[in-house]
């Protein structure tokens, strides 16, 4: 299937992760995404590794780059060259969306400020992603994910204890900024149907991280309580977290008093134990809850424990390694792996898009999810085709 954004043209000037992730999301939805890269080197992530595929050959590709650039074409343009600048102007004239994640002010210095872009194409939707925002006292700061995780408070909430701040295991600020950016682009395209005009959508790594503070944000802004890292247990629900058992561990969640009672019934515990009868009490006595449950689980291996929790109706799960996730039949059933044919590497299996689409009728559902995906492009892989297309007036 072509996807809901079929017919939308995206010009992707971004590099590294936040912007390319937004571009990949739009490509997954069926947009035509033309990735503009610097001649010779291309996107920074082409050199990020190991691991690389075919590291000894001239066709070496970074697995990092492969993770965030499917469903795109690549054209190389030198934005300091007058001829290539004119090609970019022509791309902008034809585009629906432009993505950029330069430092604030950089694109304007190259001759493509928002006023110029609006003059070239009044219907253009521009997404600008920065590190800390395009304005404000620190608007010009360079943004890298781990720095933003620290500055945005996320590391203070992550880790085994308040004295051991820990980054998330993936560049979550970059990924969230890309997701928020794609979401903003879709909203701006929808509004353009009413107004006939495009607009600029701005987000940043800082904004994306603050945007997911969730209950930790209101704990401070409303409740005056500063959240702190406390390992693998929830700050507002108990029991909810990772618990050790014989030879391993499991995770479980009792998000209601009914689930607490089911858990206690399965393992012979008294749900009305003084100090543990309500969620608030259990949160205040979390260490006691953990000790109580881990004592009950001490002679039960992980697989048996998971089976008993499932039979009792208590939500639970294991902690899988990455290879286990991609071998799991549930992962495969959700279309989270896709097969593509790369121009130099041949057949590849990549992580797939997280959305599925269905048409519904009185007779049932028909899945319309896009099935065919394009491999991430080699550097300049579409140079000849795109340059020829731009040279044709009215094409």
Q: Looking at residue 393, what is its pLDDT? A: 76
Contacts of 44 (CB under 8 A, 6+ apart): 15, 16
The whole-angstrom separation of Cα 224 and Cα 263 is 33
One DSSP character per residue, 214-243 reads THHHHHHHTT-------TTB-SSSSSEEEE
The whole-angstrom separation of Cα 317 and Cα 315 is 7
The whole-angstrom separation of Cα 339 and Cα 351 is 9
Residue 351 phi/psi, 5-degree rounding, is: -60, 140
Q: Which residue ranges of the chain lie beneath pLDDT 70?
A: 1, 55, 394-395
Q: Looking at residue 395, what is its pLDDT? A: 64
- 240-317 is classed in which CATH architecture? 2-Layer Sandwich (3.30)
What would the pLDDT profile of 301-315 be if each residue is shown by its tens digit?
999 999 999 999 999
Coil, strand or helix: which one is 26?
Answer: helix
Contacts of 159 (CB under 8 A, 6+ apart): 165, 166, 229, 231
Q: Looking at residue 59, what is its pLDDT? A: 76
Q: Looking at residue 309, what is its pLDDT? A: 98
Query: Are 34 and 121 in contact, with CB atoms under 8 Å apart?
Result: no
Locate CATH 3.40.50.10540 in the chain.
9-214+370-391
Locate CATH 3.30.1540.10 in the chain.
240-317
CATH superfamily of 9-214+370-391: Crotonobetainyl-coa:carnitine coa-transferase; domain 1 (3.40.50.10540)
Q: Looking at residue 1, what is its pLDDT? A: 54
Query: Are 126 and 201 in contact, with CB atoms under 8 Å apart?
Result: yes
Query: Are 149 and 138 in contact, with CB atoms under 8 Å apart?
Result: no
Residue 9: how many CB atoms within 10 A of its CB? 15
Handedness of CA 62, 65, 69, 75 (dihedral sign): negative
pTM for the full predicted model? 0.93
Q: Looking at residue 317, what is its pLDDT? A: 97
Query: Are 120 and 89 in contact, with CB atoms under 8 Å apart?
Result: yes
Contacts 24+ apart (CB under 8 A), 158-161: 158/229, 159/229, 159/231, 160/229, 160/230, 160/231, 161/228, 161/229, 161/230, 161/231
Which residues belong to the active site?
A: 174
CA atoms within 13 A on the CB side of 300: 19
């Amino acid at each position: 299937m072509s996807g809901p954004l079929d017919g939308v043209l995206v010009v992707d000037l971004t590099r590294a992760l936040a912007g390319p992730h937004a571009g990949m999301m739009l490509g997954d939805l069926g947009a035509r995404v033309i990735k503009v890269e610097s001649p010779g080197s291309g996107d920074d992530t082409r050199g990020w590794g190991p691991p690389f595929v075919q590291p000894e050959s001239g066709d070496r590709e970074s697995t990092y780059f492969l993770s965030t650039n499917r469903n795109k074409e690549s054209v190389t343009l030198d934005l300091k060259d007058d001829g290539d600048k004119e090609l970019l102007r022509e791309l902008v004239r034809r585009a629906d969306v432009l993505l950029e994640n330069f430092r604030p002010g950089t694109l304007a210095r190259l001759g493509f400020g928002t006023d110029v872009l609006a003059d070239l194409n009044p219907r253009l939707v521009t997404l600008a992603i920065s590190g800390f925002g395009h304005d404000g006292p620190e608007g010009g700061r360079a943004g890298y994910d781990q720095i933003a995780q620290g500055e945005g408070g996320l590391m203070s909430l992550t880790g085994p204890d308040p004295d051991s701040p820990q980054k998330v295991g993936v560049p979550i600020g970059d990924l969230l900024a890309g997701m928020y950016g794609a979401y903003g682009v879709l909203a701006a395209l929808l509004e353009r149907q009413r107004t006939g005009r495009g607009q600029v959508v701005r987000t940043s790594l800082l904004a994306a991280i603050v945007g997911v503070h969730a209950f930790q944000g209101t704990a401070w802004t409303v409740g005056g309580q500063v959240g702190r890292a406390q390992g693998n247990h929830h700050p507002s629900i108990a029991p909810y977290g990772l618990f050790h058992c014989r030879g391993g561990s499991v995770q479980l969640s009792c998000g209601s008093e009914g689930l607490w009672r089911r858990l206690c019934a399965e393992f012979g515990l008294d749900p009305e134990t003084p100090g543990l009868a309500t969620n608030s009490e259990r949160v205040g006595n979390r260490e006691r809850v953990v000790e109580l449950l881990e004592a009950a689980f001490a002679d039960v291996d992980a697989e048996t424990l998971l089976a008993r929790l499932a039979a009792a109706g208590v939500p639970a799960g294991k902690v899988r390694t990455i290879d286990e996730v991609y071998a799991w039949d549930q992962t495969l059933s959700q279309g989270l792996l896709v097969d593509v044919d790369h121009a130099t590497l041949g057949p590849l299996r990549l992580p797939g898009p997280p959305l599925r689409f269905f048409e519904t009728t009185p007779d049932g559902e028909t899945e319309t999810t896009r099935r065919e995906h394009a491999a991430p492009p080699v550097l300049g892989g579409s140079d000849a085709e795109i340059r020829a297309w731009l040279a044709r007036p009215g094409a």
